[in-house]
Each structure stands twice: as structure tokens, then as C-alpha cells.
């Protein structure tokens, strides 16, 4: 089958890491009998240079017409680049926000996987890590505190500010479904995280999540308060499979989860909407400090491409193969500079891509 992928290489290390992800995808295609067609889409600084804006309407339309979008990273050196001497809505990162909004992506998926071979990079004690952990944070992306009414004014002579945490049952049900569908492809456990002992929005969250769970009798649902979850992630991370939570809690917990995996160069992510069309990108930025030097770790982007195979194309076997290839290359001792340790073999971005492709 043929899949149309809109590819946004972007800025900085973007083109280098995307090149390696495409190499791996093409190898998967050749081995499993699929073809991937790529349409290059300009976004970020490169788009500003070419068109004057970070994302044109045509570029957004190309992304909308594709089966999935694979993104490297956008942005430059904020202190130095001329891309930042303009209004915020014309800066590189504004393209990303416009893309997420235009594609109606409401679910952010961030896996927290500790690879056995990189245990040394994890700040947690070995007895806590055990055999390693592998969980996913599913964060609601378009509702809650970040999108509710807000104001700052003087009330009774005091400067006062207010933000509103608002969710309706439809918004909760659709993100819950995303979490249950993902859990079905994994160990079939959803832990829904809220603050139901205090917040009305959390009580509704808990109720609606339970209702959705009835459609997924094969998946186990548990609830956890967010303060406890923050502790459990560092105390016993192996207990989690899929963590489902609202926007702000997810913002904080997904960063906490990514810290315990050790390296930013390994962290994949996906943003999903109601259809199969998703946006897949590494969690890191465009790393202008190492751009063009063949030093970037392409693994986060390659693992994001694996998520694309799994969640947009339903190619689970192929995604498993890519993830296994990454593990195998790490096991053989190959490392990019960000994850290098004594006794291992240092390789550049392109060689890391070659090695992973060769394992497939
Ligand atoms: P960054 O993630 O780009 O870099 C932080 C540090 O991690 C740097 O030292 C960098 O060299 C290193 N690093 C990041 N990815 C790496 C990789 N794959 N391999 C090896 N080392 C890696 O964050 P930053 O420096 O704060 O931001 C740089 C630019 O990226 C800014 O313009 C920022 O706005 C943008 N940004 C874009 C995205 C995105 O496109 N989604 C996300 C975050 C930041």
C-alpha cells in the first residue's frame, strides 16, 4: 500500500534527522512491501526565508491532504537569528501552533521508555528502574486551563488574576478514547490522572472516563490523583502503561516522565486528532548549536516515525521492527555524542541511521 507523508524538515538539525528517518522508512517499505511518498512542506525559519511567513495556507493544505505529517524541528538561535525580530505570530514556532490547530490535533502522546542500554543516563536508582520502564503519557491538548477564560483586573483595590479550567464531556470522551485505543495496542492498562478530591472538572473527567471504559472491557482503568502520580513516576515508574490526563497536568507530568528517560535525543512524540492523520515529531528542538555537524541523534525522529507506522497506518509489526532495530543498535554499543559513554562506539547522525536501517 502507498502512504502519503508530508515531511517538514524545518530548521537546524531538522533536515539531518529527517533524512535518517526517511532512510529507515524506505527500508521498512522495501522489506514489508509498502511505499511511502514524501511531499516536502516548508515550515519555520526556512518558510519565513522563502515566503515571509512560518506556514503558508498551501503548506497547511498539503499537510491536511496527507496520511501523516513527519516533522523534524523548527526554530533558530533565539538570541541571534533574525527570525525573532518580528511579531510573535510571524516567528518560526508560530508555524507549529498553526499546524497543530489546522490539523485539529487534541491528543499529545509522549512515550517514556528507558532503554536497557541507557540505564546509566536515568537519574533514578537501579532498584527503582528494575527491568526498565515503558509508558505513555496521553495529554489533552486543546482544552482546560490553557484555553479557558482568563483575566487580570483590580478587585477591591487588589490586583487579581483568574484562569478557568473548563472541559465538556465531549472533549473528555474523545481523549479518553484515544488513550484506550493506545492501551489496546500495549499492555491494556489506563491510569487516568486528575484532582477529583478538589476540582469539579476532575470529577467530570473521572465520570466520563469510566463511561468510555465500558466500551473497552479488555482494558483496565484505574484513577490516580495528580500529586500522587507525580510521586509515583519517580518512585515506581514500572507500574504505568498509559497515563491519561488533562492539559496542564499532562504538560507537567510528561516533562517529568521525559526527564527520567535520560536523553532528549531519544524522545519521540505524536499529536493525534479524531482521524488517522497525525503529526509525528521528536520532543527536542532544532538544536542550532550542533546543526550541520552530523552530531544530532536521529533516534527520537526514527521512533516518531515508528509511532506514525503504528498509529496512523496501523502497521504494528513494522513499528515493532523499527523499535527493535533501535534497541539492537544500542545493544551493539553504537552511540551518538549525546548518549555516549566510555567503551562505546561514537557515530554520527548519518551512520546511526545506516545502522538502524541495516538492522531492519
Ligand atoms: P533543543 O531541544 O533544540 O536543544 C537543547 C539541547 O539539547 C542542545 O544542547 C542541543 O544540542 C541538544 N539536543 C537537542 N536535540 C538533540 C539531538 N537530537 N541530538 C543531540 N543533541 C540534541 O532546545 P533549545 O536549544 O531550547 O531550542 C532550540 C530551538 O528549537 C529554538 O528555536 C526553539 O524555539 C526550538 N524548538 C522547537 C521545537 C519544535 O520544533 N517542536 C521544540 C522545542 C524547541
Tell whether 148 and 256 lie within a shared domain.
yes
Tell whether 146 and 76 lie within a shared domain.
no
Q: Tell me which residue of 252, 352, 343 sits closest to 297, measured CA to CA.
A: 352
Distance between terminal CA atoms of the chain? 19
Pocket test for ligand 1, best of 81, 97, 258, 284 (most atoms within 8 A of CB): 284
| Residues in Cβ contact with 228 at an 8 Å cutoff, skipping those fewer than 6 apart | none
Query: Do residues 200 and 231 touch, judged by C-beta distance below 8 A?
Result: no
| Cα 253 to ligand 1 centroid, rounded to whole Å | 20
| Cα 345 to ligand 1 centroid, rounded to whole Å | 24
73: β partners: 10
Q: Domain boundary residue among 260, 285, 315?
A: 260
Tell whether 140 and 251 lie within a shared domain.
yes
Q: What pairing do the DSSP bridges indicate for beta strands 158-163 and 150-155?
A: antiparallel
DSSP 195-214: -TTT-HHHHHHHHHHHHHHT
Q: Domain boundary residue among 231, 260, 289?
A: 260
Residue with cell 501523516: 68
Q: What is the pLDDT of residue 146?
A: 87
- Cα 273 to Cα 12, 107, 139: the distances in Å are 27, 6, 12
Q: Tell me which residue of 34, 118, 24 sits closest to 356, measured CA to CA.
A: 24
Q: Is the CB of 285 under 6 A from ligand 1?
A: yes
Q: What pairing do the DSSP bridges indicate for beta strands 278-282 and 334-335?
A: unpaired
Tell whether 161 and 201 lie within a shared domain.
yes
Tell whether 200 and 242 lie within a shared domain.
yes
224: β partners: 193
Residue 294 within any structural domain of the chain = yes
Tell whether 127 and 241 lie within a shared domain.
yes
Tell whether 163 and 51 lie within a shared domain.
no
Q: Tell me which residue of 146, 117, 141 sits closest to 269, measured CA to CA.
A: 141
Residue 115 within any structural domain of the chain = no
Tell whether 158 and 86 lie within a shared domain.
no
Residue 118 within any structural domain of the chain = no
Query: Is this structure's pTM higher than 0.75?
Result: yes
Residue 112 within any structural domain of the chain = no
Instruction: Give the span between the Cα atoms of 77 and 72, in whole angstroms.
Output: 16
Cell numbers given for 116: 536497557
Q: What is the pLDDT of residue 121?
A: 80
Tell whether 93 and 193 lie within a shared domain.
no
Q: Is the CB of 258 under 6 A from ligand 1?
A: no
Chain CA centroid to CA 136, Å: 10
350 counts as catalytic: no
Q: What is the CATH number of the domain that holds 128?
A: 3.40.718.10
Q: Is the CB of 289 under 6 A from ligand 1?
A: yes
| Residues in Cβ contact with 155 at an 8 Å cutoff, skipping those fewer than 6 apart | none
Among the listed residues 57, 255, 289, 316, the single catalytic one is 255
Residue 113 within any structural domain of the chain = no
* Number of structural domains in the chain: 2
Tell whether 128 and 256 lie within a shared domain.
yes
Instruction: Give the span between the Cα atoms of 9 and 15, in whole angstroms.
Output: 5
Tell whether 145 and 236 lie within a shared domain.
yes
Q: Is the CB of 284 under 6 A from ligand 1?
A: yes
Cell numbers given for 102: 489546522
| Cα 7 to ligand 1 centroid, rounded to whole Å | 19
Instruction: Give the span between the Cα atoms of 47 and 192, in whole angstroms.
Output: 39
Residue 80 within any structural domain of the chain = yes
Q: What is the pLDDT of residues 20-66, one digit of tens each?
A: 999 999 999 999 999 999 999 999 999 999 999 999 999 999 999 99
| Residues in Cβ contact with 25 at an 8 Å cutoff, skipping those fewer than 6 apart | 5, 36, 305, 309
Q: Is the CB of 339 under 6 A from ligand 1?
A: no
- Cα 4 to Cα 36, 60, 174, 179, 243: the distances in Å are 6, 15, 26, 25, 30
| Cα 263 to ligand 1 centroid, rounded to whole Å | 12
Tell me the CB-side half-sphere exposure of residue 217, using CA atoms within 13 A. Answer: 0
Residue 177 within any structural domain of the chain = yes
- Which residue's CA is the closest to the ligand 1 atom numbered 6? 287
| Cα 160 to ligand 1 centroid, rounded to whole Å | 35
Q: Domain boundary residue among 260, 292, 324?
A: 260
The residue range of the domain holding 311 is 1-106+264-360
Residue with cell 497536568: 249
- Cα 183 to Cα 93, 177, 212, 242, 360: the distances in Å are 31, 10, 13, 6, 26
Residue 322 within any structural domain of the chain = yes
| pLDDT tens-place values along the chain, 360 residues long | 899 999 999 999 999 999 999 999 999 999 999 999 999 999 999 999 999 999 999 999 999 999 999 999 999 998 888 899 888 889 999 999 899 989 999 999 999 999 888 888 889 999 999 888 999 999 999 999 988 899 999 999 999 999 999 999 999 999 999 999 999 999 999 999 999 999 999 999 999 999 999 999 999 999 999 999 999 999 999 999 999 999 999 999 998 998 898 778 999 999 999 999 999 999 999 999 999 999 999 999 999 999 999 999 999 999 999 999 999 999 999 999 999 989 999 999 999 999 999 999
Q: Is the CB of 140 under 6 A from ligand 1?
A: no
Instruction: Give the span between the Cα atoms of 273 and 326, in whole angstroms.
Output: 27
Instruction: Give the span between the Cα atoms of 326 and 92, in whole angstroms.
Output: 31
Q: Tell me which residue of 267, 231, 20 sits closest to 9, measured CA to CA.
A: 20
Tell whether 188 and 256 lie within a shared domain.
yes
272: β partners: 107, 278
Q: What pairing do the DSSP bridges indicate for beta strands 2-10 and 35-40?
A: parallel
Q: What is the pLDDT of residue 26?
A: 98
Amino acid at each position: 500500500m502507498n502512504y502519503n507523508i508530508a515531511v517538514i524538515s524545518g530548521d537546524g538539525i531538522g533536515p539531518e534527522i529527517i533524512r535518517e528517518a526517511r532512510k529507515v522508512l524506505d527500508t521498512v517499505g522495501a522489506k514489508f512491501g509498502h511505499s511511502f511518498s514524501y511531499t516536502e512542506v516548508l515550515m519555520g525559519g526556512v518558510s519565513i526565508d522563502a515566503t515571509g511567513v512560518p506556514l503558508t495556507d498551501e503548506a497547511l493544505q498539503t499537510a491536511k491532504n496527507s496520511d501523516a505529517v513527519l516533522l523534524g524541528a523548527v526554530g533558530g538561535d533565539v538570541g541571534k537569528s533574525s527570525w525573532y525580530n518580528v511579531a510573535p505570530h510571524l516567528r518560526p514556532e508560530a508555524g507549529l501552533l498553526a499546524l497543530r490547530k489546522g490539523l485539529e490535533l487534541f491528543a499529545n502522546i509522549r512515550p517514556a521508555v528507558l532503554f536497557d542500554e541507557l540505564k546509566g543516563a536515568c537519574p533514578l536508582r537501579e532498584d527503582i528502574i528494575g527491568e526498565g520502564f515503558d509508558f505513555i503519557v496521553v495529554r489533552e491538548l486543546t482544552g482546560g486551563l490553557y484555553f479557558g477564560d482568563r483575566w487580570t483586573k483590580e478587585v477591591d483595590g487588589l490586583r487579581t488574576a483568574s484562569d478557568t479550567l473548563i472541559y465538556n464531556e465531549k472533549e473528555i470522551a474523545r481523549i479518553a478514547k484515544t488513550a484506550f485505543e493506545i492501551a489496546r495496542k500495549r499492555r491494556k492498562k489506563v491510569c487516568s490522572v486528575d484532582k477529583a478530591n478538589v476540582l469539579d472538572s476532575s470529577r467530570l473527567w473521572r465520570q466520563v472516563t469510566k463511561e468510555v471504559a465500558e466500551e473497552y472491557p479488555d482494558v483496565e482503568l484505574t484513577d490516580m490523583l495528580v500529586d500522587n502520580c507525580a510521586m509515583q513516576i519517580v518512585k515506581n515508574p514500572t507500574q504505568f502503561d498509559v497515563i491519561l490526563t488533562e492539559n496542564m497536568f499532562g504538560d507537567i507530568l510528561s516533562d517529568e516522565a521525559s526527564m527520567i528517560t535520560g536523553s532528549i535525543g531519544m524522545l519521540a512524540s505524536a499529536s493525534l486528532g479524531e482521524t488517522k492523520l497525525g503529526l509525528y515529531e521528536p520532543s527536542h528542538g532544532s538544536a542550532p548549536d550542533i546543526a550541520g555537524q552530523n552530531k544530532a541523534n536521529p533516534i527520537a525522529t526514527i521512533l516518531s516515525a515508528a509511532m506514525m507506522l503504528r498509529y496512523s497506518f496501523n502497521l504494528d509489526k513494522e513499528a515493532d521492527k523499527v523499535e527493535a532495530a533501535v534497541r539492537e543498535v544500542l545493544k551493539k554499543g553504537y552511540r551518538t555524542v549525546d548518549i555516549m559513554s566510555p567503551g562505546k562506539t561514537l557515530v554520527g547522525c548519518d551512520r546511526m541511521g545506516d545502522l538502524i536501517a541495516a538492522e531492519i
